[in-house]
Structures are given as structure tokens and as C-alpha cells.
Amino acid sequence: TNGGFADVYVVFLKIDGTKFTAMIVERGTPGFTQGREEHKLGIRGSSTTPLLFEDCKVPVGNVLGEIGKGHKIAFNILNVGRLKLAAFGVGGMKYVLKGGVEYAAQRKQFGRAIAEFGLVREKLARAAAQIYAAEAMTYRASGAIDTAIAQSDGSPAKVMEAIEEYAIEASIMKVTGSEWLFQIIDEVLQIHGGNGFVEDYPIERAYRDNRVNRIFEGTNEINRLLIPGMIFKRAVKGAMPLMAAVQQLDEELTDPRHFPPSASAFGSGPGAGKAVTLLPVGRLAAERRGAEMAKRQFIFAAKWAASVGTALEERQEVLAALADVAIEVYAMDSVLGRTLATEQQPQLRDALCRFYCMESRERAYDRARTAIAAVVPAEERDAQLDQLARLHKYTPVNSAEAREGIVPSLLETGGYPLSY
């Protein structure tokens, strides 16, 4: 990146074939040249070139950090880059949604603005809810990192440690920031109809420019593998109490006070309300319970995934499913934390939270089910999927009502309606 005009380059290489190291190389160094510009699908204003080395000698003083410790620099570059990409994604989502709201409000079809049609309103509401969630996660993780850095001694090594502590969150937000931005772009292009496929409209360029975000900073597939991998590693080291959570969940599932045998215990039938210890009350009670149950779904799926031992490293589809559950858990928890901590515009914030959690818990359950079905032996599979289903019972939300708590504010403000 920036290869065509940069004067200073950070290059990663192996010294003696094994010691992964970062070095600074300057333009004009003998044996170092830049290749031709790549012709890309999007981000055409960005320079991208190969770097060519032939008998290039670089002074030992140009080593960045320590010989053999280049991986620490590389990983933290990626961690920070992932956080930055998530923040960039939030800004992009708001920009694109604004264009979608404006177009839907002025485009007439059958004598009405298309913003009056239910399916268009659903697209707009979903985009706003995704922005609300992405913003909550970005500020949460960034604030936590700022606090950790402030509490360190400020040395480069301690700053890197503080950032590395939130590598899981960085991967989560890289995935959501890039995928949600592209989903919103895709939906806004759809709102534009045929015009969205025409270069005269800015949504066409947004579609091309933002496809690369799922490749930048480690592909989303790699980040999905990293999320559960880091969780399991921290659990083994005792830095994350996963096994204690598994034991607690096993106890809950065998205690009728928590999970009554009646399926109606979490609905509106005669058994409703019996699971009092896991039924929060008050504001956003259903959403809070949904988030708590999604956490338990992750724990349940992680327990079974861990049962295959080291073979899990080769079961990428299982790791990716676990990652998706973790992503939804972090998103719901962040959205709820943000909403319950803020008193301004409570009705709009509740609607955004409710809409996001409504869809998020379905995605979490689906991916937890995928993971369990892939690792549980056939003779136990149905029984364990039934156990998982006990962690998912809830009264469905009226999606149209949730949508209508959001869309009027979008149309009134001409875009995303919250300033913070």
C-alpha cells in the first residue's frame, strides 16, 4: 500500500531463514525497486505495487524492534488496523445510509415514495440497527484499550501488551465492520434499483471500493479462526474462565428453577414465569435475556467443540461457527450496555436495540446449532440439540413494530438519527 510514492517502507522478512523480523527500507536503497501499479476493482486512488529486492543490503540499524520479534509488531499492526477499519466502517455505514434514506424518500413508484413500502423500510431499519451496534462495539473496545494504555507505564512494550489484550475484540469488529458495511451498501444499491448499477450514482463506487475490506487486515476467514482460537488459548492459560462457565451451565441445565422441562416456561402458556432466576424484568428484559442465553449457547457449543481435542484445528467450519456466535454475543452485550447506560432518546435507542437483538439471537442460535451438529456423535446429536434449544426459547418480537420505532426518525433526519 502506497508503494508508488512512499519514501520509507516497513518490510517483514526472515533472518537466517527463521527469525521473523521487521526492517525499515528507504526508497533509493541499491537493489530495492517498486513494481508497476496494480489495476484494482476499487480504491483506485490508493497506490498498490509489489516491492522488488535483488541483492539489497540494509543496515542492521534499520531493524525495527528486535531481531526475531517481528511477529509482535506485525500482529499489533493488524490489531490496530482492525480497530481502525471498524471505525472507518461505522463512518461508511452512516454515509451510505444517508444516501439510501434520501433516495428512498424522493423516489416515487406507484404514486408513492418507496420509503413508504415495508420491505424498503425494513432495509433502512436494519441498517440503522447495525450502525448502532457497530458504533457501540467500536467505542467499547477503543475505550477499553485507551484505559489499558493509560494504566500502563507508557513504554512501547506495555502499549503493545495493552493492545494485544483486546485482539479478540479487534478481530470481531474487523469482521462486523467490513461485512455490515458491505451489507448496507448492497441493500442501498438494491433500494436504488437499476440506478444503483450505473456509475453516475455514488453507490456503484461504494460497492467496488468496499469489497476489499473483507480482505484487508487479515481476511475475515482468518479472523473467524482467530476468535475461538484465542478464546481457547486464554482458557487453557487460566486467563478466561471458560471451564468455570461450562460447569455453571451444566448445573443450570439440570436445575428446574433455571430451565423447567415445560417448553411453555419461557413463553406465554401456563408455565410462563417459572424460570425466575434467568428471566430479567424491566427495560429491555427480553433482549437482556436473549443476550444471556446467547452467551450460554456459545459456552455449550464451545464445550462440545473442545471435546474433539487437537482435531479442532482442522475443523475450520466449526471454528467459524463458534466465531459467529461470539460475534453476536459481543454485539448484543455492547448494544444493551450502551442503551441501558443512556437516557437520551430512550424510545429510539430501545427500538434500535430491540431490532438488532431480535435478529442477532437468531443468528447466534443458528451458528451454535451448526457447530454442535458438526462435532457431537450421531447417537447423541438429537439430545444435545434439544439441550441447545432450551437455551433459545423466547417470545418473538413483532418485527414490523420494531421497524416502525426506527424508520420515522431516519426519514425525519435524512439519515442515521443519533449523533453519539
Q: Which residues pair with 105 in a beta bridge?
A: none
What pLDDT does residue 395 have? 79
The domains found in the chain, sorted by start residue, are 8-64 (2.40.110.10), 70-218 (1.20.140.10), 238-260+287-413 (1.20.140.10)
**Given the C-alpha cell 434520501, which residue does it identify?**
102
Three-state helix/strand/coil letters over the chain: CCCCCCCEEEEEEEECCCEEEEEEEECCCCCEEECCCCCCCCCCCCCCCCEEECCCCCCHHHEECCCCCHHHHHHHHHHHHHHHHHHHHHHHHHHHHHHHHHHHHHCEECCEEHHHCHHHHHHHHHHHHHHHHHHHHHHHHHHHHHHHHHCCCCCHHHHHHHHHCCHHHHHHHHHHHHHHHHHHHHHHHHHHHHHHHCCCCHHHHHHHHHHHHHCCCCCHHHHHHHHHHHHHHHHHHCCCCHHHHHHHHHHHHCCCCCCCCCHHHHCCCCCCCCCHHHCCCCCCHHHHHHHHHHHHHHHHHHHHHHCCHHHHHHCHHHHHHHHHHHHHHHHHHHHHHHHHCCCCCHHHHHHHHHHHHHHHHHHHHHHHHHHHHHHCCHHHHHHHHHHHHHCCCCCCCCHHHHHHCCHHHHHHHCCCCCCC
Q: Respond yes or no: is residue 317 known to be catalytic.
A: no
Give percent above pLDDT 90 in the chain.
89
Radius of gyration (C-alpha) of the chain in whole angstroms: 24
Query: In DSSP terms, which residues pair with 34 in a beta bridge?
Result: 51
Question: What pLDDT is attached to residue 157?
Answer: 87
pLDDT at 271: 38
DSSP β-bridge partners for residue 15: 19
Selected catalytic residue, list 122, 169, 187, 217:
217
168-199 burial, b for 16+ CB within 10 Å, e for fewer? bbbbbbbbbbbbbbbbbbbbbbebbeeebeee
Per-residue H/E/C for 7-56: CEEEEEEEECCCEEEEEEEECCCCCEEECCCCCCCCCCCCCCCCEEECCC
Closest CA to 418 of 353, 327, 337: 353
Buried b (16+ CB within 10 A) or exposed e, 335-347: bbebbbeeeeeee
Q: What is the mean pLDDT of residues 306-321?
A: 96
Q: CA of 271: how far to CAs of 204, 261, 265, 290, in Å?
A: 53, 10, 4, 19
Residues 303-318 have a mean pLDDT of 96
Look at residue 138 in the predicted model and tell me its pLDDT: 96
What mean pLDDT comes out for the span 200-219?
A: 97
* Bridge partner list, 26: 8
Q: Which of 93-102, 181-190, 244-253 has the lowest mean pLDDT?
A: 244-253
CB-based contacts of 75, cutoff 8 Å, min separation 6: 164, 167
Please check whether residue 127 is in contact with residue 93, taking contact to mean a CB–CB distance below 8 angstroms: yes
Paired strand residues for 19: 15
The pLDDT score that the predictor gives to residue 278 is 60
pLDDT per residue as tens digits for the range 1-47 = 999 999 999 999 999 999 999 999 999 999 999 999 999 999 999 99
Q: Is 33 left (phi over 0), alpha (psi -120 to 50) or beta?
A: beta
Residue 269 — pLDDT band, cuts 50, 70, 90? very low
Arithmetic mean of pLDDT, 81-101: 97
- Measured from the Cβ of residue 97, the count of other Cβ atoms closer than 10 Å reads 24
**Whole-model pTM above 0.85?**
yes
Per-residue pLDDT averaged across 385-402, rounded? 90
